[in-house]
């Protein structure tokens, strides 16, 4: 897997934000390096408010880091020149266009790229079927459940066939059952053509169940990776079953030991604030 | 249906009260010293009614109404288009917005009806001075709503569209405009009313046609019944215009959840 150019390489990234009240700058992420090989599924876990999303926005080219560099398949990514064209981004919050029907949301990316309408619709219908939303194309997002909206967002992102998939706690708003269904669907879709995935979550179990590698971040401010764990559980996986296996539990114990202190630190910091 | 009955009952009661209080000699005068004084100041509902009937029967009203409605429509359209365009521009260009901010605030807090005499001088006594007044009134309502609407587009939505490959132009078309439209429609109800105000106030100040002109003429001869008839006709058409805006809104905003609609899963 490590052979060839990495799909995504973050080198020595530091993100500082100017404080609103004119006080000292807030350092969200400090000196973070992260490499994702082509076809690799990497999860980043860390306590809440530790700058995980900041890191993802840097990888997407939506945010320019204060320091450090990003390269995508060997090419440098400069945020000022535009977003990461080879990446698809699934947001934590709803990012569907409420004024577009399901199908029109799915084909939005194709439309932006100038794909003829008929061809876009054909692809869109195919994707709706793949995510289990066949026949729901004419519904507006507000007429769908949370799980359906997530699947729609997944189709909207995957229809462009991005080489890199950036996911920011995409399933955190779902109930446990829907969430496990979605995780399995994601794994099935991923297994078809093995994109590189950078998956952000605060849920360690989700991270282990899905990934090839789990990176643990320290509590903020000045977040940096403090652990990098290889997940060598067999694939294909069923996320609800794999949670019971001894291998999973051993990994969970090991990673949690590294994470626990940071989670407590983050909690204490939040309580003090 | 029960509600409708009650609503009609309210109108009947108001008209009945109006009639009883103003009909000369029906009840002894308790405030004015003469029996027909109340009718002089407040008009009489049945006479108002007949004035309206006569207007429509002879067709006299149509020319005036047409002028007033034309002024309203033009003021509304031009003001809305300007408000939309400049609202989008300022919302998307922070520098321009920062530069223009004090002037926009100034113009908005100015009682813009005072511009009417100037417009009469600039544009003459025809319809354009009334349209200009309507435009200044409508513009700010639409402008502020568009400005607000564009400013409040969810950053997530913009980031998502950018990741999907939208250019700046496509962002404007697919994200900013539709998102601003819901705010614009909320303001259009107000804007229609204001365009009407612009037209009628303009006509009061100097005109040779229009419902405002009719009212002004009647006032000159203390013909209170005609004044009330003019007011009623204007109100009816303002309501009709508002309903028209509402129906366009319902057609274009089908994507918006209605309060009563349950989420279909």
> Which domain CATH number covers B167?
1.10.3720.10
Q: Which residue has the tokens 């366009």?
A: B248
Question: For residue A141, how many other CB atoms are within 10 A of its CB?
Answer: 20
pLDDT band at A1 (very low <50, low <70, confident <90, very high): very low
Both tokens of B138, joined, read: 């409508």
Average pLDDT of the segment spanning B138-163: 89
Instruction: Of A213, A201, A124, give the one whose Cα is nearest residue A169.
Output: A201
Average pLDDT of the segment spanning B17-26: 85
CA dist., res. B195 & res. B181, Å (int): 19
Which of A54, A86, A98 is the best residue to mutate to test the B interface, defined by the most B CB atoms within 10 Å of its own CB? Answer: A98
Residues 6+ apart with CB under 8 A from A53: A92, A168, A200
CA dist., res. B197 & res. B18, Å (int): 26
Domain boundaries, chain A: 8-86+163-272, 95-161
Query: Which of A173-182, A210-219, B135-144 has the least mean pLDDT?
Result: A173-182
Give yes or no for a contact between B91 and B147, defined as CB atoms under 8 angstroms apart. yes
Report CB contact under 8 Å: A99, B255.
yes
The helix (H) or strand (E) run that includes residue B26 is: none
Both tokens of B28, joined, read: 């002894």
Q: In angstroms, what separates the C-alpha of B70 from chain A's closest C-alpha?
A: 32
Report CB contact under 8 Å: A143, B264.
yes
Give yes or no for a contact between B203 and B210, defined as CB atoms under 8 angstroms apart. yes
Instruction: Identify all chain B residues contacting A113, using CB atoms and an 8 Å cutoff.
Output: 165
Q: Is residue B50 in some structural domain?
A: no
Give yes or no for a contact between A58 and A14, defined as CB atoms under 8 angstroms apart. no
Q: Across chain B, what does the average pLDDT equal?
A: 87
Q: Helix and strand tally (H, E) in chain A?
A: 9, 10
b/e for B188-207, b at 16 or more Cβ within 10 A? bebbbbbbbbbbbbbbbbbb
CA dist., res. B123 & res. B121, Å (int): 6
For chain B, how many structural domains are there in total? 1
Could you tell me what percent of chain B has a pLDDT over 90? 29
Q: Does B6 touch chain A (CB under 8 A)?
A: no
Both tokens of A73, joined, read: 């398949």
Residue-range definition of the domain harbouring residue B110 = 60-252
b/e for B146-178, b at 16 or more Cβ within 10 A? bbebbeebeeebbbbbbbbbbeeebbeebbbbb
Candidate from B156, B163, B257 with C-beta closest to A142: B257
Could you tell me what percent of chain B has a pLDDT over 70? 97
Instruction: Identify all chain B residues contacting A62, using CB atoms and an 8 Å cutoff.
Output: 159, 162-163
Report CB contact under 8 Å: B263, A142.
yes
CA dist., res. B147 & res. B176, Å (int): 10
Q: In angstroms, what separates the C-alpha of A220 from chain B's closest C-alpha?
A: 23
Report CB contact under 8 Å: B164, A97.
no
Q: In angstroms, what separates the C-alpha of A215 from chain B's closest C-alpha?
A: 24
CA dist., res. A255 & res. A251, Å (int): 6
B110-136 pLDDT, tens digit each:
888 888 888 888 998 888 999 999 999
Q: In angstroms, what separates the C-alpha of B2 from chain A's closest C-alpha?
A: 32
CA dist., res. B105 & res. A139, Å (int): 41
Whether pLDDT at B207 is above 90: no
Whether pLDDT at B265 is above 70: no
Instruction: Of B133, B112, B113, B110, give the one whose Cα is nearest residue B122.
Output: B133
CA dist., res. B172 & res. B209, Å (int): 42
CA dist., res. B149 & res. B198, Å (int): 25
CA dist., res. B68 & res. B192, Å (int): 13
Instruction: Of B67, B71, B144, B146, give the one whose Cα is nearest residue B107.
Output: B144
Looking at residue A51, its pLDDT comes to 81
Q: Which DSSP string corresponds to A131-147?
A: TT-TT-TTS-GGGS-HH
Report CB contact under 8 Å: B255, A140.
yes
Instruction: Identify all chain B residues contacting A88, using CB atoms and an 8 Å cutoff.
Output: 163
* CATH code of the domain made up of A8-86+163-272: 3.40.50.300
* CA quadruple A145, A150, A151, A157: dihedral sign: positive
Instruction: Identify all chain B residues contacting A93, using CB atoms and an 8 Å cutoff.
Output: 154, 156
Both tokens of A56, joined, read: 């993802």
Whether pLDDT at A214 is above 90: yes
Q: What is the DSSP letter of A173?
A: T
A95-115 pLDDT, tens digit each:
899 999 999 999 999 999 999
Report CB contact under 8 Å: B163, A156.
no
Write the ipTM.
0.86
At CB < 8 Å, which residues of chain A contact B? Answer: 57, 60, 62, 83-85, 87-89, 91, 93-101, 108-109, 111-113, 139-140, 142-145, 148, 156-157, 160
Peptide bond connecting A236 to the previous residue in cis, omega within 30 degrees of 0: yes
Give yes or no for a contact between A185 and A151, defined as CB atoms under 8 angstroms apart. yes
Which of B162, B165, B167 is the best residue to mutate to test the A interface, defined by the most A CB atoms within 10 Å of its own CB? Answer: B165
Average pLDDT of the segment spanning B164-172: 90
Report CB contact under 8 Å: A91, B165.
no
Q: At what angle do helices A52-60 and B155-163 cross, to 10 degrees?
A: 40
Average pLDDT of the segment spanning B63-84: 92
Report CB contact under 8 Å: A97, B157.
yes
Looking at residue A3, its pLDDT comes to 54
pLDDT band at A177 (very low <50, low <70, confident <90, very high): confident
Q: Does B262 touch chain A (CB under 8 A)?
A: no
- Of residues B181 and A91, the one with the higher pLDDT is A91
- Of residues A230 and B254, the one with the higher pLDDT is A230
A24-44 pLDDT, tens digit each:
788 888 888 999 999 999 999
Whether pLDDT at A65 is above 80: yes
Tally the C-alpha atoms within 13 A of residue A21's C-alpha that lie toward its C-beta: 1
CA dist., res. B62 & res. B71, Å (int): 14
CA dist., res. A102 & res. B256, Å (int): 14
């Amino acid at each position: 897997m490590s052979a060839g150019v990495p799909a995504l390489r973050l080198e020595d990234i530091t993100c500082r934000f100017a404080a609103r009240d004119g006080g000292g700058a807030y350092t969200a992420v400090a000196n973070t390096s992260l490499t994702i090989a082509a076809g690799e599924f990497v999860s980043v876990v860390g306590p809440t408010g530790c700058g995980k999303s900041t890191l993802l926005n840097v990888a997407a080219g939506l945010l320019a880091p204060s320091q450090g560099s990003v390269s995508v398949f060997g090419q440098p990514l400069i945020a000022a020149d535009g977003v990461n064209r080879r990446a698809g981004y699934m947001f934590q919050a709803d990012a569907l266009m409420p004024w577009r029907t399901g199908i029109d949301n799915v084909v939005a990316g194709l439309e932006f790229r100038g794909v003829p309408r008929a061809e876009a619709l054909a692809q869109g219908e195919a994707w709706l079927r793949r995510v289990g939303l066949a026949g729901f194309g004419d519904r507006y997002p507000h007429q769908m459940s949370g799980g359906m909206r997530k699947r729609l967002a997944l189709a909207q992102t995957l229809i462009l066939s991005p080489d890199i998939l950036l996911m920011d706690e995409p399933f955190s708003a779902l109930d446990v059952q829907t969430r496990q269904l979605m995780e399995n669907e994601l794994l099935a879709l991923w297994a078809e053509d093995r994109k590189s995935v950078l998956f952000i979550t605060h849920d360690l179990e989700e991270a282990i169940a899905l990934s090839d590698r789990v990176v643990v971040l320290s509590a903020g401010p000045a977040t940096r990776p403090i652990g990098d764990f290889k997940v060598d559980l067999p694939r294909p996986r069923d996320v609800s079953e794999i949670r019971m296996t001894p291998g999973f539990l051993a990994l969970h114990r090991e990673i949690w030991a590294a994470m626990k202190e940071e989670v407590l630190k983050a909690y204490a910091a939040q309580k003090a604030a | 249906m029960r509600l409708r009955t009650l609503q009609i009952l309210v109108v009947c009661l108001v008209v009945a009260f109006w009639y009883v209080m103003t009909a000369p000699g029906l009840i002894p005068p308790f405030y004015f010293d003469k029996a027909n004084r109340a009718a002089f100041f407040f008009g009489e509902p049945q006479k108002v009614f007949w004035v309206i009937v006569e207007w429509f029967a002879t067709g006299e009203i149509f020319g005036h109404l047409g002028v007033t409605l034309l002024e309203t429509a033009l003021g509304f359209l031009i003001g809305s288009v300007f408000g939309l365009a400049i609202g989008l521009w300022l919302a998307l260009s922070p520098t321009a917005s920062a530069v223009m901010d004090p002037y926009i605030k100034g113009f908005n807090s100015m009682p813009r009806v005072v511009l009417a005499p100037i417009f009469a001088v600039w544009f003459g006594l025809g319809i354009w001075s009334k349209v200009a007044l309507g435009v200044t009134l409508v513009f700010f309502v639409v402008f502020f709503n568009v400005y607000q609407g564009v400013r409040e587009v969810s950053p997530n939505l913009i980031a998502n569209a950018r990741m999907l490959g939208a250019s700046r132009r496509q962002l404007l078309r697919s994200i900013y405009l539709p998102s601003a439209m819901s705010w614009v429609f909320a303001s259009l109800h107000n804007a229609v009313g204001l365009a009407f105000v612009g037209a009628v106030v303009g006509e009061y100040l100097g005109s040779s046609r229009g419902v405002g002109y009719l009212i002004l003429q009647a006032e000159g001869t203390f013909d209170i019944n005609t004044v009330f008839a003019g007011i009623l006709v204007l109100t009816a058409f303002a309501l009709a215009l508002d309903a028209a805006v509402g129906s366009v809104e319902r057609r274009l905003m089908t994507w918006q959840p209605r309060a009563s609609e349950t989420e279909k899963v």
